[in-house]
Chain A
Amino acid sequence: MKKKTMAMVLAGALAVSAMAGCGNSSSSSTTAAAGDKTAETTAETTAADSQGGTAAASEASKTDYPTQNVNGIVQWGEGGGTDSLMRPLATLAQDKLGQSIVVQNMTGGTGSIATQYVYDQNADGYNLLMGAENPSLYDALDILDLTYEDFECVLLIGDETVGVAVGKNSPYTSLKEICDAANSGTDITIATTGTGGLPWEVSALVTSITGASFTQVQYDSDASAKVAVLGGECDFTICKVQSCIEEYKSGDLKMLCMLATEPVEQMADVPLITAEYPEFSDYLPWGPFYGVFVKQGTDASVVETLSAAFVEAFNDPSYQDVLKNYNINPMGYTGQDAKDYLQNWRTNTVEALTKAGAVTP
């Protein structure tokens, strides 16, 4: 019986100590649990390989930041658009920063789980929120009481152009035909990624201008929404250039129009939405954007150090190639520029959504 009690006590004690280790993983490195370590080892090795006493190291000594690994929390899943932009950027930025950036995905709730998580950590610059445009609308959509106004922007990477896509066998040849059909009572389905997702946002913009409303069918990701249109289950969807360019080239998707002020280089024959609906120019240019953020209240010198490292990484030719590959319109904004952009985007979008009746002011 003694053995039994021993084992129970041992198990309990170990579990508690491991949990304590996990809970404080941001501040304690000695008690961190084994799994924690395994996950980080690879990234650490990368940093160890490339830490060559860079200029950033001397800069860091000024503020004593960073003295330990920095966590990069990506609010969307592995392999998604946000993730794929953040990982190479973090790999480059950690060389400039002199500490590893451990990128993790924390998905769920239109990115709100990650946003809340980063907000709950200390404002010390060791937890970065790597996000897309979604948090700008959290309060308007009643998802979370936080927006990017509760964060400091380290770097705005860029934004993306989006377009209206239908399957290759679709009877519709323009957005106007779709809207007219919807207005005359035909049931038109749009494949979306849920409330607050990109197709939902754009369909609200379309509704606010054309008055046409659509049946929203929600899918788990933009890839599965695209599949629904390819397979003919839904009438249309909204795609980023990145996620439709290959299908556009192969003819599997027809692009009806782009939400842009200038034609997209690789899709020069696709008309702009303003050709049919000039009123759209009030909202343009509009598109989902990507950025790196820290919690509001983080020391200004820390934000500066981070911004400097990320801007340097952003300007690296190899990262510019990544942006080009992904058809991202590069911005590279920091400080006040970033603030102004975020403010504008938010005001315009909320205004349009309110007009469409998608949100109540």
Chain B
Amino acid sequence: MKQTAKLALEDGTVYTGTGFGAAGEVEGEVCFNTSMTGYQEILTDPSYRGQIVTMTYPQIGNYGINEEDVESCRPHLSGFVIRELSRIHSNFRSEGGLDEYLQKHGIVGIAGIDTRALVRRIRTQGAMKGILSTEDLDDESLVAKAKASAGLVGRDLVQEVVSEQPQEWSESLSRWAHISDQESKSDSEANLHVVALDFGMKWNIARHLRDLGCRVTILPGTTATADRVRELNPDGVFLSNGPGDPEPLTYAIETIRSLMGEKPIFGICLGHQLLALASGAKTFKLKFGHRGANQPVIDFDTGKVEITAQNHGFAVDEESLPDHLEITHRNLNDQTIAGLRHREAPAFGVQYHPEASSGPHDSRYLFKRFRDLMESGAQVTS
């Protein structure tokens, strides 16, 4: 049965719509994603921990949910905001509807609000704390709760999403990742070993590393020490994406700093920020972040522009950049740093998502760059 749901922001705005998914009440930072496809990947991206995500595209649920396209074992975001939920799902791979999926996983959703008005508010006011509820429908009470909620800054959300056990990864990219079968063969038998520090890693990253011919060992980023990594004697260390503010993750920064220069390192998103922090730079919170699949990034090595998938609310502060960090990529929309390379150590990172999922595949070359770095590193040490 359809029930009323409300979304309240800390600035006092309240949106009234229809609930879907689970009933309940959740807090979170309200943000928006401009991807027109890929809601399933967004839902299961652990980086959205602590956030209430608004989809700018108004028709959601069209193609249902399938087992293949998940980025982790379950949805991680706090709440989901859309304009209209599709009654049916139509796609040859669909295994179920979005509504049941969110119900099953206890995710509260709201539909039927003026999502564009909400997005415009976030754009002008910046990302805000908010509360989404199907239980408390009193505006004043909701706004008060939104104001009192924790927010993202200074919080370690990684703890909440990382699995406790190390894992050997075996899955490759799906058949949909390539335009034809002839392309989908793993293009190398590199036999390299990557240790991935998991801060809330999207599975497609591991799939990409597998497709490069790497053996992938995933260690929980929260507990992995530099020595633990050294024990595994990997050819490279990967730093994953993850939710929230990188600054409180001192344990991770410590580990990375210790490994820097020893092993080739590649960081994505939060991993990139941690790499920068470990190299002496600072991070800051963006007004409302970059979340979408259409963000242009220029690669200064080639001069070419790639269209990237992004999902971050924090970024590396250019002012704070030490000399040994070189800017390799920039976001063309707001000129923020999108990629860094360590001048003295074999380490680089990008703020965006070369693993895509959801999003365009333009940046896959970065995984090859990582492999090249590991291979040249391997030669040096051998």
Q: Do A and B bind each other?
A: no
Query: Taking beta carbons and an 8 Å cutoff, which residues of B are in contact with A?
Result: none
